[in-house]
């Protein structure tokens, strides 16, 4: 094991896990003093091309409240054919099928390289995937046309045996029957009326006649429903039909008077969608895909009234508690999300509008069910088109990169307890011995439901060391955590993936150095950021910032080397050196700063932040800046205003935006058309280089970033200017005069100022 | 008419009772048999024998003259009774049965000839008889006594008339005979006079009249020389005596019958037959003559006997022919005023009867087609009105069809200023506005306010003080015209959109199974080509929409651009809404292809349904919402199968409880359930949404509730119980076709303004009233009539008269907002005589029917019936007291204009809503109640006195339809074929003795026995009989607002019961008195009132 860097990388590659600390303090008090909690980022379905799934059931610990899965950390007595659970120390006999087990003939799950292993289990009949399109028809004709095309195109991307359904809505909500010949039928719901699941199912005729009188509303079993459900049909069967249907999709015909918004019944449409799936396919992987072009304006879940003179709520309104519909709508969508989550259905939101479309209220739909949120200006943009296409992308095996209805269970060894998790999931409220009372994120449970996930879906998991200071964990031991993820694979198989991770315990007093070096500052930055974002959802912005600052200062105090009250003496070791900078950018990021962002945008950014993996998260926190010039190959440069030079082209990736910025001189040249001249071939190449690189990123990123090509002085340059560290501003321009670069007109503090303050506070004896 | 025919074709003559009644005479034989069936107790007939005795005499005369005597047949029943139940008709037996006499008063005489006798007199005998017997079933039972006699009559055949004679009962007869005899004879005589017997008869008074008139009494003249009165030139009978001048005493005796109550208790003449009679008679005849005569003649056929009885010997009983006959009255009016031009230039002019063919020329008052009044002369004071108890009402049919030969209404456009109206009362410019001050101002005829004439409307006056442009402006010279309404008269100040028709088809199991859905879908395709359109417009702008439903609703998008229709299902019946806007209501011509595609598919789509539950209120709600969304008015055509039991608003349950019948709670059977439906009515009216319900039930459907919305929105309910394609399909389609195509206006508000002194206080019809003055109608079609009752506020002046202006604001089928104005001026008088003279029986009965049908919602039916009888008696008593010349109390004197009022009243009381019988279907009763509320005068007249047309005597060469007969069993002949229709249903009745030739001609069957039950259509055969009959039927169907199902019933078939209940002069099948009994009863009441 070379460096921690390598160790960390290796672990991440194998198990999809990044811990904040790779050595764990042996007592609760020590752990607390480390400031950054023992926690990890876990990617349950991390793509593992090298990991073939095994075709049998996992072996479980027989203790009722343990049920841990046999893993390489277990002690095995080959002769007695007994294994000892490493979490509860229960001795378990191997099942009969393991009779042939021996030192040299071990099942895969006992081999160390299979600390993560995937089982394919045969339970119940295979259930098809369900895709339910929920389409807003209150769109401009152009948008609707583009959307129609995208949807028609998507039919060819769906798995052929997947079930597909269509709900359209405007003033009314229409559930289209797909099986019929001749007349196109649809069931219509009024957009203003809240209906219970039972009512919806009755109205759609999903209830068996007997059920309506007899036992209460429990929907019919999935198989029976499948036969009768006219609304969800295999793609291959209704392909043509549905294509025509989509082709004939008309704009909402109800007149929209001047000065009014169209009446959009998003709330009811979603409730019908959820109710329909709930009735027809409970506990089966299903994806509700909402395509909307504006805010819900009527009925339950309405976000803004239809009067155009009343603008949709802004952050300002929200702070003043002036957003009339906010609470009610949020509550409504939360209830829907929870129902949907219970049944394992995820909800995507594709919102394309120039104004806000109510994502703030609706975000939980996706956040709690693991659905996507895509926000764009219009369905005609390639941002939407390609992103949508990418939803159906396939992996190296030709399988869809999507999984459904996952249950993530965490088991810990006795010294650890789980505090909670932050990610696109809901609690299953599973009680167990390893649950901490101290909640961080979604806690109080050891199991979570993730209705929709893909290979990059990453959760932040927070732990707590149990042992008290006076009874620390003995040296040399290892703590272990096991993640058991049961999910429905896109091939409709049921699978279980098990990752078992162990780390050494270390005495923080004697081995603080070791612990310090085991610090994963990238993971820690993201983990802390998630905590911050999580708090920001419920707390005032400034409070969150203060909390983050305090944590940072405490960390610096703990690990910095300094002389009291001498800021200049302050130093941080290499393993922590980047951390403050991450925090600096995090403070400025849209996840915590709502200034200049609409509530919808904030929700959108936060949504992605709490589900992406470490790399992407870091990009979001601290965008990457590349510089292209004649003076050498492209190089990453500081995210600093000093990097903005006239003869350079910059490529900035903020995850959400991809900005190509042409320096002043370059822009002039380009304007003059030098690139067209054969003698300036190299200039042409220079111009082309960032474009190619950007293409590469665009190809892989989900959702597709907003692509911005701008230049010095261009209005869109603001995307770059708002991100870079304002080392030069109108305030200090002259002080820094000799340096070239672009001054930023801002009162924001620069990194230097930030660091100065940090040092001062860290070394101050008063805190 | 009949007569001639008669004469010409002897063979028929016999058969046709209708004719002079001669036939009857002959036919008597057969007739009796019928009776026997009928009455059940054959004995009844037996009675005749006595008659027989009598007859001889009569017969003889008859022969001489004509078969005239037949009339007696009517009588026979009575007589029998008398005989039989002595108790009942105590008096009769007494001796002077004859009394009955029709001894009308002679007064007539002169008059008679001219015009119908003003009044008729009934013998008080009737009274007497009734009194006792009233309740009990008079007629039939009696037989016994007669019995002995009876047999003979039959045989007597020769003098068929005799047959009836049952009456004759020895004892009484004698007395009667003298008097009676003559009269009857006279009828005969009349007949004779007439030339053709018939003529005399049928034609009222005119020519033959007198004689006819004499009917009872004097008949003598002609025939047996009975007419003692010989004197009477005219009828011979008449009493020429008294009435010297006017012939009849009309003046005095407008009242019809007076039977000189002479000697015998009740009976008049009877007593002093010989001597007395003459005098008494004379008069009577006169009066009677007019009326009675008529009847008799008619009857004669049927009841030859009667004649005989009367004439001859003794009679005690009333001759049915002697009591006023509706058919006679109708014929008389037709003869007198038919085919003439009726100009509306006079105030208070009484129009011809509704049954008469006439042409109207509008000269300042609305045509009677639009407005008819119960009386055209209002009493001046409230006291007078109260005293006579004659309701003051007008029946307005604002959209009545105008025959092609009359001028359609002019549309006046006053441009942006809109119609000119009185500043104070808001009455519209009309001929009653008096221009003064050189034309600069005008005085409102209604409130007397003086208004400035707008400059643009200024016009000089001529030397007569009339505007120079009087005849150029419809609103100054006509009684009816239209204004183009300005935006001020439109909802939301926006011009209205064209109306829409929404077809809503119940596709639950029973409708699918019966084939109804397929039928409707197929036919709609063609019918929709004939949607109503604005006069002169090339095509209809009415939009159409389609909904199917069972317990959920399916809307269809039939936009013309679609390749296929789209179905939108709404299951949320608790909270109905319309799922689409664009494409639901479309122009039929534009979307023809899609609609036809849809209509093709609907029956197949639901072919496999097993859904049997339905909803109803949500369906209407959906329709209203659709119209609301489209911002237009319109009409819903709902084709519904069963009581809505599915869980939804307006769910109904079976509340048909026969135990409630005849209790104080019976009214609940008629009361609609409140709540949902009530609100729905309001919504519909507010939106101008008319609801027409076609219901195809197989059991109770709570029509009282289901039809409630229709009855408030100007809609109709059509019921087809146990619908079967083969038998009801045609009928239903005809109804639907008429309904789809008829002229109609939407979203209407009607306001009735009156001159000072009285005002409209109550409104009856398929209307909704939000306040006390505005009549709101979601739609008003050419058959919709509103009956408006007036009350005095103050004293009216004879000089100014009473004027009424009905203004109807509506949206035309072309989507134009219009104001239709009808003006009518009436006389006022402080003399009740005037009022009674200008009464209109048909309008009166329309008013009574509607008020009674409304009253049964709130009070026990028994009370309602009592009130009806009391008011009838009161009206007549008041007349007797104030207008008739003094006469014996035993005489029943009826105002001429109301002489047939009792028969209608009696018929009304026998209609199913007013008869408390557990055998009647509750839905049926509710339905009739609802439909009558919206009926006009023509329809109520026909409903309460169906037309019974003898077919076996028709002349195939002539265009004419044979003259109808009185609706009584006695007029039927076993060898005859009759067509009966009342505007709701139609029967072809075939006597058992129907001639095989006729059967062959009409049905292409060798005999009646080969006929299948429940036939509802006639085969199309190429022979004159068949063609004539079918053309009669089809022209009737054409004429009536509703299509009627033709039922073919054979004598003695089970289905005959249905037919019989329409013979309104007979005892009701489910209770209710015969005409005769009723008359007697009323008479008794009157006498009580008078004392």
Phi and psi at residue B753, in whole multiples of 5°? Answer: -110, 150
The b/e string for B617-649 (b: 16+ C-beta within 10 A; e otherwise) is: bbbbbbbbbbbbbbebbbbbbbbbbbbbbbebb
| Banded model confidence at residue A302, pLDDT cuts 50, 70, 90 | very high
Residue B56 pLDDT more than 80?
Answer: no
Closest-CA residue of B relative to A196 is B572
Measure CB to CB from residue B581 to each of A177, A184, A254 and give the nearest one.
A254
Distance (Å, rounded) from C-alpha B526 to C-alpha B588?
11
pLDDT, residue B519, reads 94
**Nearest residue of chain B to residue A251 (CA atoms):** B582
**Which of the residue ranges A45-49, A638-642, A713-717, B955-959 would you say has the lowest mean pLDDT?**
B955-959
ipTM: 0.84
Residue from A137, A167, A183 whose CB has the most chain B CBs within 10 Å, to mutate: A183
Shortest Cα distance, chain B CAs vs residue A404, angstroms: 32
B216: pLDDT strictly greater than 60: no
Q: Does B1046 touch chain A (CB under 8 A)?
A: no
**pLDDT in the model for residue B174:** 37
* Most A CBs within 10 Å, among B497, B507, B545, B572, to test the A interface: B572
> Are the beta carbons of A188 and B565 separated by less than 8 Å?
no
Which residues of chain B have a CB within 8 Å of the CB of A183?
556, 564-567, 598, 601, 605
How far apart CA B289 and CA B211 sit, in angstroms, is 6
* Stretch B86-93: mean pLDDT: 37
pLDDT above 80 for A763: yes
* Among chain A residues, CA nearest to B551: A203
Q: How confident is the model at residue B236 (pLDDT cuts 50, 70, 90)?
A: very low
Q: How far is CA A136 from CA A250, A333, A379, in A?
A: 10, 17, 11
Whether residue B293 is predicted with pLDDT greater than 50 in this model: the reply is no
Q: What residues contact B1060, with CB distance under 8 A and at least 6 apart?
A: B38, B969, B1066, B1069
If you average pLDDT over residues B72-77, what whole number do you get? 38
Beta-carbon contacts of B419 under 8 Å, excluding residues fewer than 6 positions away, are B412, B428, B429, B475, B483, B485, B819
B568 vs A185: CB contact, 8 Å cut-off? yes
- Stronger pLDDT, A300 or B26, i.e. the higher one: A300
- The angle subtended at Cα A158 by Cα A490 and Cα A51, nearest 5°, is 30
pLDDT band at A132 (very low <50, low <70, confident <90, very high): very high
B378 — pLDDT class (breaks 50, 70, 90): very high
**B605: which chain A residues are within 8 Å (Cβ-Cβ)?**
182-183
Beta bridge partners of B302: none
Nearest 10 degrees: CA dihedral of A531, A535, A536, A540?
A: -140
The per-residue pLDDT for A510 is 87
Q: Tell me the sheet residues that pair with A483.
A: A410, A499
* pLDDT digit string, tens, across residues B1056-1069: 888 988 999 998 88
Nearest CA to CA, how far is A173 from chain B (Å)? 8
pLDDT in tens, B546-596: 999 999 999 999 999 888 899 999 988 888 888 888 889 999 999 999 999
Cβ burial A597-607 (10 Å sphere, 16+ → b, else e):
ebbbbbbbbbb
| Per-residue pLDDT at A228 | 57
- Does residue B682 surpass a pLDDT of 90? yes
Query: pTM of this prediction?
Result: 0.78
At residue A208 the predicted structure's pLDDT band, cuts being 50, 70 and 90, is low
Residue B661's pLDDT is 86
Whole-number Å distance between alpha carbons of B7 and A752: 132
Give me the pLDDT at residue A213, please. 37
Pairing of strands B977-981, B947-950: antiparallel
Per mean pLDDT, which range of A175-179, B153-157, B717-721, B845-849 is the poorest? Answer: B153-157
Over residues B614-625, the pLDDT tens digits come to 999 999 999 999
CB atoms B572 and A203 under 8 Å: yes
Q: What are the pLDDT digits (tens) for A473-493?
A: 887 889 999 999 999 998 888
Local structure of residue A86 (DSSP, 8 states):
T
Q: Could you report the per-residue pLDDT of B403-456, keeping only the tens digit for each?
A: 999 999 999 999 888 899 999 999 999 999 999 988 999 999 999 999 999 999
Residue B173 pLDDT exceeds 70: no
Predicted confidence (pLDDT) at residue B1075 exceeds the cutoff of 50:
yes
Q: Taking residues B266-295, report their average pLDDT.
A: 35
**Residue A54 DSSP one-character state:** B
The answer to whether B41 and B32 are in contact (CB under 8 A) is no
Give the phi and the psi of residue B661 in degrees, each rounded to 5. Answer: -60, 135
* Mean pLDDT on A29-46: 93
In the block, tokens 């008090």 appear at A29
Q: State the average pLDDT over residues A207-235.
A: 55
Phi, psi for residue B458 in degrees, rounded to 5: -65, 140
The string of DSSP codes covering B900-939 is THHHHHHHHHTSGGGS--TTS-HHHHHHHHHHHHT--HHH
For residues B311-340, average pLDDT: 77
- Mean per-residue pLDDT, A383-390: 92
What per-residue confidence (pLDDT) applies to B318? 66
| B143 pLDDT higher than 70 | no
Read off the pLDDT of residues B630-646 as tens digits, 9 standing for 90 and up: 999 999 999 999 999 99
Check whether B1041 has a pLDDT greater than 50.
yes
Q: What percent of chain A has pLDDT over 70?
A: 95
Place B491 in a pLDDT band, splitting at 50, 70 and 90. Answer: confident
Chain B residues within 8 A of A204 when measuring between CB atoms: 571
Residue B139, pLDDT above cutoff 80: no
Q: Which pair of structure tokens corresponds to residue A420? A: 């909670």
Q: Which region among A165-169, A251-255, B227-231 has the lowest average model confidence (pLDDT)?
A: B227-231
CB atoms B575 and A190 under 8 Å:
yes
End-to-end CA distance of chain B: 45
Write the burial class of residue A405 (CB in 10 Å: 0-12 exposed, 13-18 middle, 19+ buried): buried
Q: What is the pLDDT of residue B962?
A: 86
What is the percentage of chain B residues whose pLDDT exceeds 90? 43
If contacts are CB pairs under 8 Å, which of residues 513-572 in chain B contact chain A?
A: 552, 554-556, 562, 564-572
What pLDDT, on a 0 to 100 scale, did the predictor assign at position A46?
Answer: 92
What is the arithmetic mean of pLDDT over B1004-1027? 84
Q: What is Dmax (Cα atoms) for chain B? A: 92
């Amino acid at each position: 094991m070379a460096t921690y860097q390598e160790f960390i990388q290796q672990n991440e590659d194998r198990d999809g896990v990044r811990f904040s600390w790779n050595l764990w303090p042996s007592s609760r008090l020590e752990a607390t003093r480390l400031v950054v909690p023992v926690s990890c980022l876990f990617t349950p379905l991390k793509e593992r091309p090298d990991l073939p799934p095994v075709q049998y059931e996992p072996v479980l610990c027989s203790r009722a409240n343990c049920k841990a899965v046999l893993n390489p950390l277990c002690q095995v007595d080959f002769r007695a054919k007994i294994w000892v659970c490493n979490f509860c120390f229960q001795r378990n006999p191997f099942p009969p099928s393991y009779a042939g087990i021996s030192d040299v003939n071990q099942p895969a799950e006992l081999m160390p390289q299979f600390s993560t292993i995937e089982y394919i289990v045969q339970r119940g009949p295979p259930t098809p995937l369900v895709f339910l399109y929920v389409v807003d028809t209150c769109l401009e004709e152009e948008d609707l046309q583009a959307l129609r095309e995208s949807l028609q195109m998507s039919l060819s991307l769906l798995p052929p045996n997947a079930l597909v359904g269509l709900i359209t809505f405007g003033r009314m909500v229409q559930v289209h029957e797909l099986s019929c010949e001749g007349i196109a039928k649809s069931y219509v719901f009024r957009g203003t009326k809240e209906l219970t699941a039972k009512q919806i199912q009755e109205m759609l005729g999903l209830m068996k006649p007997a059920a309506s009188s007899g036992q209460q509303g429990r929907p019919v079993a999935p198989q029976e429903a499948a036969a009768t459900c006219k609304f969800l049909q295999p793609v291959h069967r209704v392909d043509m039909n549905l294509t025509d249907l989509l082709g004939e999709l008309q704009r909402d015909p109800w007149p929209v008077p001047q000065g009014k918004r169209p009446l959009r019944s998003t709330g009811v449409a979603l409730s019908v969608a959820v109710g329909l799936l709930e009735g027809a396919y409970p506990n089966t992987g299903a994806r509700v895909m909402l395509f909307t072009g504006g805010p819900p304006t009527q009925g339950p879940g309405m976000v803004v009234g239809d009067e155009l003179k009343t603008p949709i709520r802004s952050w300002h309104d929200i702070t003043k508690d002036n957003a009339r519909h906010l609470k009610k709508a949020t509550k409504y969508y939360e209830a829907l999300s929870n129902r949907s989550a219970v049944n394992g259905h995820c909800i995507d939101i594709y919102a394309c509008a120039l104004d806000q479309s109510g994502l703030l209220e609706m975000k939980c739909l996706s956040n709690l069910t693991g659905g996507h949120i895509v926000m764009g200006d219009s369905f005609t943009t390639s941002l939407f088109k390609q992103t949508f296409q990418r939803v159906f992308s396939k992996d190296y095996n030709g399988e869809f990169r999507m999984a459904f209805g996952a249950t993530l269970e965490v088991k810990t060894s006795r010294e650890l307890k789980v505090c909670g998790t932050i990610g696109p999931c809901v609690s299953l409220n599973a009680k167990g011995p390893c649950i901490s009372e101290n909640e961080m994120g979604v806690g109080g449970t050891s199991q979570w439901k993730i209705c929709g996930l893909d290979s990059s879906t990453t959760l932040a998991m927070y732990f707590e060391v149990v042992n008290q200071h006076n009874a620390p964990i003995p040296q040399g031991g290892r703590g272990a955590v096991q993640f058991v993820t049961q999910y429905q694979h896109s091939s409709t198989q049921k699978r279980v993936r098990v990752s078992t991770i162990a780390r050494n315990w270390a005495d923080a007093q004697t081995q603080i150095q070791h612990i310090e070096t085991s610090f994963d500052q990238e993971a820690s930055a993201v983990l802390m950021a998630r905590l911050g974002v999580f708090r920001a959802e419920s707390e005032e912005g400034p409070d969150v910032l203060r909390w983050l600052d305090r944590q940072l200062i405490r960390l610096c105090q703990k690990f910095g080397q300094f002389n009291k009250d001498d800021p200049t003496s302050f130093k941080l070791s290499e393993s922590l050196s980047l951390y403050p900078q991450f925090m600096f950018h995090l403070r400025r990021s849209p996840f915590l700063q709502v200034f200049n962002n609409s509530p919808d945008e904030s929700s959108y950014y936060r949504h992605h932040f709490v589900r992406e993996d470490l790399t992407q998260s870091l990009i979001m926190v601290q965008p990457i800046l590349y510089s292209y010039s004649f003076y050498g190959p492209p190089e990453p440069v500081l995210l600093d205003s000093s990097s903005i030079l006239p003869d350079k082209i910059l490529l900035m990736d903020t995850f959400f935006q991809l900005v190509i910025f042409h320096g002043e001189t370059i822009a002039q040249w380009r304007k003059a058309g030098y690139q067209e001249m054969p003698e300036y071939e190299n200039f042409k190449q220079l111009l082309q280089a960032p474009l190619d690189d950007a293409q590469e990123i665009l190809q892989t990123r989900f959702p597709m970033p907003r692509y911005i090509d701008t230049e010095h002085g261009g209005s869109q340059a603001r995307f770059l200017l708002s991100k870079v560290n304002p080392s030069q501003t109108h305030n200090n321009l002259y002080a820094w005069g000799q340096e070239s670069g672009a001054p930023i007109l801002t009162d924001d503090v620069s990194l230097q100022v930030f660091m100065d303050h940090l040092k001062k506070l860290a070394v101050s004896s008063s805190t | 008419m009949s007569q001639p025919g008669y004469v010409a074709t002897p063979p028929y003559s016999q058969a046709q009772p209708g004719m002079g009644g001669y036939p009857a005479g002959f036919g008597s034989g057969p007739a009796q048999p019928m009776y026997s069936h009928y009455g059940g107790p054959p004995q009844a007939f037996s009675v005749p024998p006595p008659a027989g005795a009598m007859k001889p005499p009569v017969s003889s005369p008859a022969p001489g003259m004509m078969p005239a005597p037949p009339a007696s047949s009517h009588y026979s029943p009575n007589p029998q009774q008398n005989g039989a139940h002595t108790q009942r008709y105590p008096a009769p037996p007494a001796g002077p049965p004859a009394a009955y006499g029709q001894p009308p008063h002679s007064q007539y005489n002169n008059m008679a000839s001219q015009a119908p006798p003003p009044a008729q007199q009934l013998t008080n005998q009737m009274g007497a008889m009734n009194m006792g017997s009233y309740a009990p079933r008079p007629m039939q039972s009696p037989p016994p006594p007669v019995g002995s006699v009876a047999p003979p009559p039959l045989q007597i055949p020769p003098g068929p008339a005799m047959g009836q004679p049952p009456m004759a009962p020895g004892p009484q007869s004698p007395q009667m005979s003298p008097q009676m005899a003559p009269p009857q004879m006279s009828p005969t005589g009349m007949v004779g006079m007439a030339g053709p017997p018939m003529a005399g008869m049928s034609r009222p008074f005119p020519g033959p009249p007198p004689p006819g008139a004499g009917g009872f009494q004097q008949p003598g003249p002609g025939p047996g020389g009975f007419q003692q009165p010989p004197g009477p030139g005219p009828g011979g009978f008449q009493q020429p005596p008294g009435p010297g001048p006017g012939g009849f005493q009309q003046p005095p005796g407008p009242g019809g019958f007076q039977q000189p109550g002479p000697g015998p208790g009740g009976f008049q003449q009877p007593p002093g037959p010989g001597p007395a009679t003459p005098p008494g008679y004379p008069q009577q005849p006169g009066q009677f003559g007019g009326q009675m005569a008529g009847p008799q003649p008619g009857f004669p056929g049927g009841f030859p006997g009667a004649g005989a009885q009367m004439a001859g010997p003794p009679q005690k009983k009333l001759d049915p022919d002697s009591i006023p006959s509706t058919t006679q009255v109708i014929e008389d009016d037709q003869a007198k005023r038919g085919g003439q031009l009726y100009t509306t230039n006079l105030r208070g002019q009484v129009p011809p009867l509704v049954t008469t063919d006439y042409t109207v020329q509008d000269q300042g008052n609305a045509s009677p087609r639009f407005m008819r009044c119960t009386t055209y002369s209002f009493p001046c004071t409230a006291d007078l009105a109260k005293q006579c108890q004659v309701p003051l009402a007008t029946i307005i049919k604002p959209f009545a069809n105008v025959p092609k030969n009359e001028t359609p209404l002019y549309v006046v456009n006053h441009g942006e200023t809109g119609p000119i109206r009185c500043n104070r009362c808001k009455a519209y410019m009309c001929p009653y506005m008096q221009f003064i001050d050189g034309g600069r101002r005008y005085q409102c005829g209604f409130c007397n306010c003086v208004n400035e004439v707008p400059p643009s409307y200024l016009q000089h006056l001529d030397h007569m003080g009339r505007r120079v442009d009087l005849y150029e402006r419809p609103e100054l010279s006509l009684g009816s015209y239209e204004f183009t309404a300005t935006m001020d008269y439109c909802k939301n100040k926006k011009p209205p959109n064209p109306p829409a028709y929404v077809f809503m088809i119940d596709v639950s199991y029973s409708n699918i199974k019966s084939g109804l859905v397929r039928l409707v879908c197929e036919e709609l395709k063609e019918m929709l080509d004939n949607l109503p359109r604005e006069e002169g417009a090339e095509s209809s702008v009415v939009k159409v929409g389609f909904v199917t439903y069972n317990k959920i609703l399916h809307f269809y998008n039939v936009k013309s651009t679609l390749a296929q229709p789209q179905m939108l299902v709404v299951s949320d019946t608790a909270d109905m809404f319309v799922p689409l806007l664009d494409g639901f209501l479309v122009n039929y011509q534009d979307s023809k292809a899609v609609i036809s595609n849809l209509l093709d598919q609907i029956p197949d789509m639901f072919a496999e349904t097993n859904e049997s539950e339905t909803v109803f209120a949500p369906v209407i709600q959906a329709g209203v919402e659709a119209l609301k969304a489209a911002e237009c008015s319109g009409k819903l055509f709902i084709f519904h199968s069963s009581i809505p039991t599915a869980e939804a608003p307006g769910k109904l349950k079976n509340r048909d409880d026969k135990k409630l019948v005849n209790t104080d709670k019976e009214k609940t059977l008629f009361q609609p359930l409140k709540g949902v439906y009530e609100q729905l009515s309001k919504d519909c009216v507010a939106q101008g949404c008319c609801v027409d319900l076609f219901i195809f039930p197989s059991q109770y459907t709570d029509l009282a509730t289901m039809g409630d919305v229709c009855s408030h929105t100007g809609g109709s309910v059509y019921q087809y119980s146990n619908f079967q394609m083969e038998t009801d399909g045609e009928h239903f389609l005809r109804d639907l076709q008429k309904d789809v195509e008829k002229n109609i206006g939407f979203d209407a508000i009607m306001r009735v303004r009156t001159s000072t002194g009285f005002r409209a206080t109550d409104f009856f019809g398929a209307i909704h009233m939000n306040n006390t003055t505005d009549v709101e109608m979601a739609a008003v079609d050419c058959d919709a009539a509103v009956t408006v009752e007036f009350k005095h506020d103050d004293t009216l002046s004879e000089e100014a008269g009473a004027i009424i202006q009905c203004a109807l604001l509506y949206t035309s089928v072309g989507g134009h907002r219009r104001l239709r104005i009808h003006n009518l001026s009436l006389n006022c008088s402080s003399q009740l005589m005037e009022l009674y003279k200008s009464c209109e029986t048909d309008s009166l009965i329309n008013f009574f029917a509607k008020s009674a049908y409304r009253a049964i919602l709130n009070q026990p039916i028994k009370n309602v019936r009592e009130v009806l009888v009391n008011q009838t008696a009161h009206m007549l008593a008041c007349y007797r007291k104030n207008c008739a010349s003094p006469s014996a109390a035993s005489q029943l004197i009826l105002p001429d204009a109301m002489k047939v009022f009792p028969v209608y009243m009696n018929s009304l009381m026998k209609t199913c809503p007013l008869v408390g019988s557990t055998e009647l279907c509750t839905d049926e009763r509710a339905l009739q109640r609802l439909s009558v509320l919206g009926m006009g005068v023509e329809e109520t007249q026909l409903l309460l006195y169906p037309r019974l047309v003898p077919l076996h005597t028709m002349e195939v060469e002539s265009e004419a339809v044979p003259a109808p007969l009185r609706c009584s069993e006695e007029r039927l002949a076993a060898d005859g074929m009759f067509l009966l229709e009342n505007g709701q249903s139609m029967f072809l009745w075939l006597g058992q003795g129907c001639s095989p030739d006729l059967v062959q001609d009409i049905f292409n069957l060798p005999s009646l026995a080969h006929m299948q039950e429940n036939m509802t259509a006639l085969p199309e055969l190429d022979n004159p009989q068949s063609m004539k009959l079918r053309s009669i039927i089809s022209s009737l169907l054409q004429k009536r607002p509703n299509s009627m199902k033709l039922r073919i019933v054979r004598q003695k078939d089970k289905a005959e019961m249905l037919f019989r209940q329409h013979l309104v002069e007979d005892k009701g099948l489910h209770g209710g008195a015969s005409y005769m009994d009723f008359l007697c009863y009323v008479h008794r009441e009157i006498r009580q009132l008078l004392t």
